[in-house]
Amino acid sequence: MQNYYDDENINSTNFGWGDAAPLEKEILSQQDLDLLITTPFTYNQSLCIIEPAEHVGHNTIGEPVRASINVAWLAQRIADCDSIVFPLWKSGLMDRKKLSHVLTSSLAIIFEGGHSTVRKSESFAGTKCSHADLLDLSEELILSRRLRSAPSIFICLGHQLAAQAHIRLIKKAVQDILENIDETLINQPNSSEALQQVCNRIKSLGTKLRIVKDGNIIATGWDHPEFAVGINEVPEAGHCEIVHYEKKDSHPDPELAELLTTQAITAEEYDGVIEESISYEKDLNIVMFHTDEVNEEAILFANWAYRSLYQALLPARNELVISQLSWLFNLPSSIEILCSTTAEGKLCTEVAATCINYRDYDTRQTRRSFTCQFHPELRDDLREFKKSGIPSFEDLKKDDGIRLLIRILHDSLME
């Protein structure tokens, strides 16, 4: 095989996924997946990159951008780490059990962006992986973060799918508890009553919480299709500055005050790499490439609901872990809004990134996964490295987004 790491070929534009290192491992079929699963060392030591669409959008010069290519180059260039891409848009989910095993047994999962919109399921038409399929996979990855499992980093469209998955999981948890808790905790009526009270509070607020943008109510309640993700007031493509999250505007729902307090408590409990970067580095800029955004009310609600469930499940844990409700212990314990973005001094995206926390009931240790609306793997020109040329190591060190991506990967892999 020709060596693509030498100086003559490192900026070649004549190859893509499936052709040569570091882009040689592409899983296109069930046969490919079956072969991969027979070589655990291959995926145990690699990043697994999920592609929900063939590209994440078109840049300013009209090129479709396949951002997974940049992730593979960065992983190889910085960490000497291999990558495996799963282009679900042309392979479908394949065998879900085998796919999930490979993903969660890898070093880390990168759930890439895409040009489709989660607000319109029909925008996924023409691919072999529907909006519903991707939501199911997102839920599965959110529930998979256990001891020694791979952390997930959801980017752009992945970030939005994760937000929708959080709301779906909370709804499922509430319904499952209300339908089965009396029978499951027949000998613990107090714990049963406490869980039902928590679930009724979550359901009550979930069905009436309003999503407000620029003073206009765009959605009411968790059954609204745009409760978790709505259209951004101003589409972002290019550089934006990331800043600490802070809610300044008033809101018509008085319950939001409690959700904001819960967000502040979560933020105090965990020190995050993104917050530290914002605090200690001046003018931290990243690349945005999107028209939709995750709604802050939905994530504030999800954090409050996750924390409420975590605390309410704890007293009856011994009985619940051997029941049909045992899956509830795989839910996150909280989710924190890490940062927002501004451009020219104006707030653009309130939920620019989140940290999904999993506090272990036994060890009290916390593991994390991350989501981000921005594309940390893209540079200012929004181009694939194979077209723009591979940046020097010095240039990579100066890029705020790439530094953030590597720090997030490093921190989550060390847990």
Q: How confident is the model at residue 14 (pLDDT cuts 50, 70, 90)?
A: low
β-sheet with 82-87: strand ranges across: 82-87, 46-51, 108-111, 152-155, 366-372, 346-359, 334-343, 229-244, 285-294
Predicted TM-score (pTM) of this structure: 0.93
Considering the domain 30-413 in this protein, what is its CATH number? 3.40.50.880
What would the pLDDT profile of 262-313 be if each residue is shown by its tens digit?
A: 999 999 987 777 777 777 676 777 777 667 999 999 999 999 999 999 999 9
State yes or no: pLDDT of 59 exceeds 70: yes
Mean pLDDT over each residue of the chain, to the nearest integer = 90
Interior angle at CA 8, CA 4 and CA 9, nearest 5: 30
| Position 234 pLDDT exceeds 70 | no
Cβ–Cβ < 8 Å for 304, 282:
no
Q: How far apart are CA 306 and CA 217, in angstroms?
A: 25
Find out whether 63 and 237 touch, Cβ atoms under 8 Å. Answer: no
- Both tokens of 128, joined, read 């072999």
> pLDDT tens-digit profile of 17-42?
988 888 989 999 999 999 999 999 99
